[in-house]
A and B are shown apart, each in its own frame.
Chain A
């Protein structure tokens, strides 16, 4: 099976712009989670989608949003970019067989966002 794919891999934006990142999960996986990785904060949970519904959200401002399509592909959007949004954004998919956070998450390669 193909792994989790993320596009684009690298992105440079300026403050105030908005950005959309895309994630295609492993075939058959219906849950997609998004994470932000920064050197100071480590890997932080943004949100999780299952069957086109956001099931959980981390402690991020409303500028961060996401959605999931019927084919389980997911996008996340960051509006009004700030310098502090520079980070590696990872998505992960899981098969949701056991539920309750007991399923392994499979990570994509990430999108490196730089905000100038």
Chain B
């Protein structure tokens, strides 16, 4: 069973501010690192799948970086908006070529107007 950890557990950010949070994962036998956004009353929505060390991916105001050698990924949100309020989850594959993911417990982000 993989150990995927996220910090902080929750975060309150003023509208317009930028923020970032961390996901750490085992650096050995790395396959991929996933980021999802989960809004209340909705299904988790994929943000990024990252596979290469040094990967940087961007989707609008959200971006992510990956360091597979030290086993961490950062998610950045620039100019936070109220619609960014959600739980952000990272996940790594269970391994063995299968698609099942081990999720971290998430960072609950609240954007305050």
Contacts and interface: CB of A to CB of B under 8 A. Distances in A.
Interface string B49-65: 10100000000000000
B104 A42 contact: yes
A94 interface: yes
B28 interface: no
B43 A56 contact: no
Interface of B is mostly: loop
Contact of B103 (A43, A102, A104): A43
Contacts, number: 85
A109 B49 CA distance: 21
B101 A101 contact: yes
A59 to B, nearest CB: 6
A101 B32 contact: yes
A45 B94 CA distance: 9
B44 A50 contact: no
Contact count band on A: 20 to 34
A89 to B, nearest CB: 12
Sorting the interface of chain B by its residue count into under 10, 10 to 19, 20 to 34 or 35 or more gives 20 to 34
A47 B32 contact: no
A86 interface: no
A28 interface: no
Given A100-B32, A110-B43, A45 B101 contact: yes
B43 A108 contact: yes
A104 B34 contact: yes
Given A59-B1, A101-B92, A110-B43, A42 B105 contact: yes
A48 B100 contact: yes
Contacts of B49: 102-104
Nearest to A56: B98
Interface of A: 4, 31, 33, 35, 42-45, 47-48, 50, 55-56, 58-59, 90, 92, 94, 96, 99-110
